[in-house]
Amino acid sequence: MIQAIVFLPLLAAIVAGLGQRAIGPFAAKLVTTGALFASCALSWPIFLSFVTGSGEASVTTVLHWVSSGALEFNWELRIDTLTAVMLVVITTVSSLVHLYSWGYMEEDPDQPRFFAYLSLFTFAMLMLVTANNLVQMFFGWEGVGLASYLLIGFWYKKPSANAAAIKAFVVNRVGDLGFMLGIFGTFLVFGTVSIPDILHAAPGMAGSSISFMGMRLDTMTILCLLLFIGAMGKSAQLGLHTWLPDAMEGPTPVSALIHAATMVTAGVFMVCRLSPMFETAPVAQGVVMFVGAATCFFAATVATTQWDIKRVIAYSTCSQLGYMFFAAGAGAYGAAMFHLFTHAFFKALLFLGAGSVIHAMHHEQDMRYYGNLRKHIPITYWAMMLGTLAITGVGIAGVVGFAGFYSKDGILEAAFASGGGGVVAFWVGIFVAFLTSFYSWRLVFLAFYGKPRWERSEHIQHAVHGDHHDHPSDEHAGDDHARAQHQDRHGDGTAGYHPHESPLSMLIPLGVLSLGAVFAGIAFHKQFIYPEEGATFWAGSMMAFDEHLMHAAHVVPLWVKWTPFTVMAIGLFLAWNSYIRNTSLPGRFVAQFKLLHQFLYNKWYFDELYNILFVKPAFAIGRFFWKKGDEGTIDRFGPDGAAALVAGGTRLAVRLQSGYVYGYAFVMLLGLVGFASWAMVKFL
Amino acid sequence: MSGFPILSLMLAVPVVGAIACLFAGDRNARLIALAATLVDLALGIMLWAQFDIGGAQWQFTERADLFGRFQWALGIDGLALMLIMLSVFLMPLCILASWDAIKQRVGLYMAMFLIMQTVMIGVFMAQDLLLFYIFFEAGLIPMYFIIGIWGGANRKYAAFKFFLYTLLGSVLMLIAMIAMIAEAGTTDIPTLMSYNFPVEMQTWLWLAFFASLAVKMPMWPVHTWLPDAHVQAPTAGSMILAGVLLKLGGYGFVRFMMPMFPDASAQLMWIVFALSMVAVVYTSLVALVQSDMKKLIAYSSVAHMAIVTAGLFAFNQQGIEGAMIVMLSHGVVSAALFFCVGVIYDRLHTREIDRYGGLAVNMPAYALFFMLFTMASIGLPGTSGFVGEFLSIAGIYEASSWVAFICTTGIILGAAYMLYLYRRIIFGELTKDDVKAMPDLNAREWAITAPLAAVALWMGVYPESFLAPMRGDVTAVVARLAPAKPAGDAHVSAGKPKAAAAEHGAAPAGDAPRAGGSQ
């Protein structure tokens, strides 16, 4: 069965990708979407069997892969609790995104290719989470990287999309450098790359030391840090995050699937999967927590200033991933996985909702040109509303709440309970919860409330003036239409444009994900983070689950439980005050704190810095090596120089190009060979 | 050992074909060449099928005395078998690649390729030192003519540069070989592989071999002939140059230098490591700024070969097996990439990257294959490139984490230059009229790319087929090197579990002996 779950998407990708001309676009879409729904239907029973406690971990060997000396690894599919959680996340979101794309990509001429890429991605992601050895995990790791590259650059005619695709791949490769060295080091130390064997042996290596690049370091610390560099790349953590916002160049369903719900959480998954290793390396855990908290803070600050709706959500994702990492760093892996689980639903919902907005607004993504959309696209509005309630963590402690409420509070409480650096992380988390609330509500208010500000958008103008011939019989035609046209001349900001609610294929996924955003927390929080139920649930997963910590998290003081809700309310109020009640406030604020705003708006200048530090020097040095090294030194004093010498001086150098001079060199060499032959005869 | 001289037959078929080509018309010459190479491929497959994995080290041996100490001594082990398979697999594809592109002196051209095939597989089969040398050097001559006659505008410069570099190195190797024969009193390669040369003599023998093999590899800084040779060579010439000729150097390392001079190899491994590290970074950066497609791929070849040399000198199973797989993988993938360049060169007659763009629109099949080979070149798991790079760097890491780190940076730069190349050729808006008019792959081109793609994937998903025949021979080399092998730099030392966990940070708290001393 697990083979079907994993390989159906691959099969579908091959059929749709290579056979698109034979079977046509409709069949290609049907095959891929059907395969994903089948995978999804097979995954849920596995997950539920673990929830009810009847599931058992298993490993299925598919094919031998490599054996070289002691280094041996196979293609294997592992199922346990951790994998089961990821299986349902991946297959559910992926199948819904497939369905959503029927509507969203309807006008695209290249649909079979798009669906093939989506299915290929799903296959790679499933290989990643079912890996039983580090190398197969790396296979999935790189496979999702490839799919991400292909999908970001899906509209390959756009230079910006191509640049973003390459950036995503190359920045991820920087992380992969750490991952690969981590695998090599792990193999060196443990003599195996099998994950169960490594995790079993890890405690025995605690406290040992190893030389790495001339330094004497604690073995487990350096191994965990190297592997974590890989996780940082894939999960867009501070320093290696620059590719994620640019990845929004891809179609929106891709952003929902890859850059929100699944691929970017691979790093969190990896840390949880290898948690017994991290448990033996407190320093590495500290680094994980610090990087997580820093990313969480950084991304949230940037998100408050962005105008592009997708970029706001992208930075929000980055920030939420930071939450997951600092939970993992605090040792609360259950909480990290729980947030991963709920986040997948509400973040996919927000992205798909944003896609629905963009669809309605004729590809306009700038929130400055939105406004008042709740009246025009009410279903999308409600979906976004539920997603926002989930991400900002609305809920009443101890009673009921949206999905994000359970998981985020779980993380914050666990961080607080872990003490030490965890308390610092807790306060950072609280501040970020405030920022999260502010930027999320800012998005909702800008897009759905206030007056329409559509007329300034070029996309809308283009739609109004270019679309008349395409859609002569407007759905909203009639009085409404005439009135809007009329009012436009009176400056109501609509420019006579009518946003349409999206088709059913897009609304159904929104509805299903809304259910997840509302109920995923309340339904599963006991299994994920409660001390006793959690211990049973995670028992078969090899994941380190600290009952004491989760118990301590459960009994934190009441103010700890209520602070997140309070800051959320403050954020909501501030957003309402700035974007509905007193809309001139943000402008005045920006004018007052221009430097700060510029710093945040330009994303802390990471891109500019990397450009100066890495990209430009790489090209400059490459050019230098080529012109001055190869041509200016090696060739000049090497073959060209030798040829010139043989010819008796530089005056003949002009004839170099004709090759005659090389003839002399040739003759000389023949002489040498003759000498050697003579020597040979003499010796023999 | 069967009595049937299959190795001699494999050497003879192309020679007969070559002679026939010289006297045939253009069309017949093509057919004869294709037939001859296909026969050799079939013989190669028979060879592989009959090869007894885990059996005798040398199989299919043939021996006949010629004159003096010269012997017609052939025989193969697993390493040779795999490289022979690579050669016989690529050769028919090269002939097909030249089908329409070569219009002048077709008979001579095909004859040159067939002669090249004989000498290439001869190198891998030879069991006599002098026979090996003859094959090794003879490979230069057809390549020299292929570049010099059917090459691009600046072909003479490239051909002479190629000749000058490679011959200069091999003179030194010949002198070293003569000294070896004088010392050991035999030309038999298997005997020499277990002969213990005096340590001080090993050093200069090693250096002399190194001078020759480093050029063939090519290693930095004697690599500058390669970009010129590739740029000027016709497509099939580049394919065979990158596919097989560059492997002669690596084969020489693992067949001669490492088992014959183990002490010198251990002493001088730092030279190999240093040059390899420089090459990975240096040539990758140079590749990044190239505007000529062939030059870019040529520089990337140098970077890949640097992983081979570093992997071989890791002196362990993973390193050497990985290096062998990198050689096989690079043989397939770089040949495929050069063919991909050839496909569009045939249509537009320029290698300037900027002249292209947007080919995904009108050449989707081509774009797909090119993507696959690009990914194989940058070592995506599931393709051949990954298995080789992963194994060899895993081996290198055991020897030195520094070298492994530098070599791994190559995977970042490799992704950068290959994807940058792909983007400029395949992606973007299709604006230029002449580019718009380019048709997608035809049947002949499909017949070339599809097998290459299949092998690249096969080697990535189930490399055991290729690793199994080589395993025993690599173990033998590792065992031969074991006494001289220096320890790796990792020095793992166990600590006291839990006690050190409380300590803060990277201090050598867990280093048991030291901790014990200080307490």
For residue B506, pLDDT over 50 is answered with: no
On whether the CB atoms of residues A378 and A518 are closer than 8 A, the answer is no
Minimum-distance CB partner of A211 among B224, B290, B491: B491
Confidence at residue B61, expressed as pLDDT on a 0 to 100 scale: 85
What confidence tier does B68 reach under pLDDT thresholds 50, 70, 90?
low
* Residue A643 at interface with chain B, using a CB cutoff of 8 Å: yes
Minimum-distance CB partner of B317 among A69, A181, A676: A69
On whether the CB atoms of residues A116 and A528 are closer than 8 A, the answer is no
Based on its alpha-carbon atoms, the radius of gyration of chain A, rounded to whole angstroms, reads 29
For residue B6, pLDDT over 50 is answered with: yes
Closest-CA distance of chain A to residue B37, Å: 31
What does the pLDDT look like over A342-368, one tens digit per residue?
A: 999 999 999 999 999 998 888 888 888
Which residues in B lie closer than 8 A to residue A63 (C-beta atoms)? 461-462
CB contact residues (below 8 A), chain B span 464-503, against chain A: 464, 467, 471, 488-501, 503
Which residues in B lie closer than 8 A to residue A659 (C-beta atoms)? 156-157, 159-160
Between vectors from CA B321 to CA B245 and to CA A131, what angle results, nearest 5°?
125
Taking residues B405-412, report their average pLDDT.
90
Cα–Cα distances (Å) from A660 to A635, A657, A680, B157, B160, in that order, read 17, 8, 30, 9, 9
The whole-angstrom separation of Cα A330 and Cα A420 is 10
Between vectors from CA B286 to CA B285 and to CA B292, what angle results, nearest 5°?
130
What confidence tier does A683 reach under pLDDT thresholds 50, 70, 90?
low
Which residues in A lie closer than 8 A to residue B413 (C-beta atoms)? 618
Burial class (CB in 10 A: 0-12, 13-18, 19+), A527: buried
Burial class (CB in 10 A: 0-12, 13-18, 19+), A557: exposed
Q: Mark yes or no for CB contact B467/A138 under 8 Å.
A: no
Return the number of other C-beta atoms located less than 10 Å from residue A404's C-beta.
32
Taking residues B395-422, report their average pLDDT.
90
Closest residue in chain A to residue B171, using alpha carbons only: A673
What does the pLDDT look like over A101-139, one tens digit per residue?
A: 998 888 888 889 999 999 999 999 999 999 999 999 999
CB contact residues (below 8 A), chain A span 562-601, against chain B: none
With CA atoms as reference, report the closest residue to A520 among A314, A398, A340, A350.
A340
**Three-state DSSP class for residue B65:** strand
Confidence at residue A491, expressed as pLDDT on a 0 to 100 scale: 62
| Alpha-helical runs (H) found in A264-332 | 266-273, 275-279, 282-303, 309-329
For residue A483, pLDDT over 50 is answered with: no
Confidence at residue A664, expressed as pLDDT on a 0 to 100 scale: 52
Instruction: Pull the structure tokens for residue A20.
Output: 């698109």
* Residue A215 at interface with chain B, using a CB cutoff of 8 Å: yes
On whether the CB atoms of residues A354 and A309 are closer than 8 A, the answer is yes
DSSP symbol at A131:
-
Pairing of strands A395-396, A400-401: antiparallel
- The residue behind tokens 């002969």 is B195
With CA atoms as reference, report the closest residue to A247 among A238, A239, A258.
A258
Contacts A–B by Cβ distance under 8 A: 268
Pairing of strands B71-76, A209-212: unpaired
Look over chain B and give the mean of its residue pLDDT values, rounded to a whole number: 86
For residue A632, pLDDT over 70 is answered with: yes
With CA atoms as reference, report the closest residue to B155 among A664, A654, A670, A657.
A657
Closest-CA distance of chain A to residue B434, Å: 18
Minimum-distance CB partner of A207 among B289, B290, B499: B499
Which residues in A lie closer than 8 A to residue B287 (C-beta atoms)? 622
pTM of the full structure: 0.89
Taking residues A586-594, report their average pLDDT.
84
On whether the CB atoms of residues A278 and A288 are closer than 8 A, the answer is yes
Instruction: Pull the structure tokens for residue B433.
Output: 């009229």
Cα–Cα distances (Å) from B488 to A211, B280, B399, in that order, read 10, 21, 4
Closest residue in chain A to residue B179, using alpha carbons only: A683
Contacts of B52 by beta carbon, 8 Å cutoff, 6+ apart: B59
Closest-CA distance of chain B to residue A7, Å: 15
Q: Mark yes or no for CB contact A208/B493 under 8 Å.
A: yes
Closest-CA distance of chain B to residue A488, Å: 37
Taking residues A556-566, report their average pLDDT.
87
Q: In what helix (H) or strand (E) does residue A59 lie, and over which residues does it extend? A: strand A58-68
What confidence tier does B466 reach under pLDDT thresholds 50, 70, 90?
very high
Confidence at residue A680, expressed as pLDDT on a 0 to 100 scale: 56
Q: In what helix (H) or strand (E) does residue A217 lie, and over which residues does it extend? A: strand A215-218
Taking residues A219-244, report their average pLDDT.
91
What confidence tier does A144 reach under pLDDT thresholds 50, 70, 90?
very high
Confidence at residue A647, expressed as pLDDT on a 0 to 100 scale: 55
Closest-CA distance of chain B to residue A218, Å: 5
Q: Mark yes or no for CB contact A218/B509 under 8 Å.
A: yes
Lowest mean pLDDT among A161-175, A395-409, B280-294: A395-409
With CA atoms as reference, report the closest residue to A419 among A282, A566, A216, A518.
A282
Choice between A424 and A458, residue whose per-residue pLDDT is larger: A424
What confidence tier does B505 reach under pLDDT thresholds 50, 70, 90?
very low
Confidence at residue B1, expressed as pLDDT on a 0 to 100 scale: 44
Minimum-distance CB partner of B494 among A177, A208, A217: A208
Between vectors from CA A85 to CA A396 and to CA A187, what angle results, nearest 5°?
125
Cα-to-chain-centroid distance, residue B334: 9
Choice between A638 and A363, residue whose per-residue pLDDT is larger: A363
- The residue behind tokens 């501040």 is A431
Q: Mark yes or no for CB contact B397/A184 under 8 Å.
A: yes
Confidence at residue A665, expressed as pLDDT on a 0 to 100 scale: 55
What confidence tier does B200 reach under pLDDT thresholds 50, 70, 90?
confident
Confidence at residue A70, expressed as pLDDT on a 0 to 100 scale: 86
Taking residues B428-432, report their average pLDDT.
84
Closest residue in chain B to residue A633, using alpha carbons only: B221
Taking residues B392-397, report their average pLDDT.
92
| Alpha-helical runs (H) found in A191-281 | 195-205, 219-234, 243-246, 252-256, 266-273, 275-279
Q: What are phi and psi of B432, to 5 degrees?
A: -75, 135
For residue B163, pLDDT over 80 is answered with: no
The whole-angstrom separation of Cα A207 and Cα B516 is 13
Which residues in B lie closer than 8 A to residue A683 (C-beta atoms)? 178-179, 181-182
Instruction: Report the percentage of chain A scoring pLDDT > 70.
Output: 90
The whole-angstrom separation of Cα A226 and Cα A232 is 10
Instruction: Pull the structure tokens for residue B485.
Output: 């092998």
Contacts of A78 by beta carbon, 8 Å cutoff, 6+ apart: A57, A58, A59, A60, A130, A131, A132, A195
On whether the CB atoms of residues B312 and B323 are closer than 8 A, the answer is yes
**Three-state DSSP class for residue A387:** helix
Which residues in A lie closer than 8 A to residue B500 (C-beta atoms)? 206-208, 218
CB contact residues (below 8 A), chain B span 405-424, against chain A: 405, 408-409, 411-413, 415-416, 419-420, 423
* Residue B397 at interface with chain A, using a CB cutoff of 8 Å: yes
Choice between A266 and B518, residue whose per-residue pLDDT is larger: A266
Closest-CA distance of chain B to residue A350, Å: 30
Minimum-distance CB partner of A658 among B69, B156, B499: B156
Taking residues A612-638, report their average pLDDT.
82
With CA atoms as reference, report the closest residue to B360 among B297, B422, B291.
B422
The whole-angstrom separation of Cα B50 and Cα B44 is 10
For residue A630, pLDDT over 90 is answered with: no
Crossing angle between the packed helical segments A333-360 and A547-554, to the nearest 10 degrees: 70
Closest residue in chain A to residue B398, using alpha carbons only: A188
Q: What string of DSSP letters covers A141-157?
A: HHHHHHHHHHHHTSSTT
Taking residues A89-94, report their average pLDDT.
93
For residue B501, pLDDT over 50 is answered with: no
Choice between B25 and B92, residue whose per-residue pLDDT is larger: B92
Contacts of A558 by beta carbon, 8 Å cutoff, 6+ apart: A397
* Residue A654 at interface with chain B, using a CB cutoff of 8 Å: no
| Alpha-helical runs (H) found in A392-503 | 403-418, 421-448, 458-466, 479-489
What does the pLDDT look like over A425-479, one tens digit per residue?
A: 999 999 999 999 999 999 999 989 888 888 777 777 777 776 544 443 333 334 4
Closest residue in chain B to residue A676, using alpha carbons only: B175
* Residue A524 at interface with chain B, using a CB cutoff of 8 Å: no
CB contact residues (below 8 A), chain A span 253-292, against chain B: 280, 282-283
Confidence at residue B148, expressed as pLDDT on a 0 to 100 scale: 81
Confidence at residue A36, expressed as pLDDT on a 0 to 100 scale: 93
Confidence at residue B327, expressed as pLDDT on a 0 to 100 scale: 94
Closest-CA distance of chain A to residue B293, Å: 15
Instruction: Pull the structure tokens for residue B323.
Output: 């290096």
The whole-angstrom separation of Cα A238 and Cα A295 is 5
Confidence at residue B331, expressed as pLDDT on a 0 to 100 scale: 93
Return the number of other C-beta atoms located less than 10 Å from residue A374's C-beta.
17
Minimum-distance CB partner of B411 among A146, A149, A173: A173
Cα–Cα distances (Å) from B149 to B21, B96, B118, B155, B233, in that order, read 17, 19, 20, 8, 9
Instruction: Pull the structure tokens for residue A425.
Output: 């992380």
Which residues in A lie closer than 8 A to residue B511 (C-beta atoms)? 208-209, 216
Look over chain A and give the mean of its residue pLDDT values, rounded to a whole number: 85
Taking residues A507-529, report their average pLDDT.
90
Within chain A, what is the greatest distance between any pair of CA atoms? Answer: 109
Instruction: Report the percentage of chain A scoring pLDDT > 90.
Output: 41
For residue A486, pLDDT over 60 is answered with: no
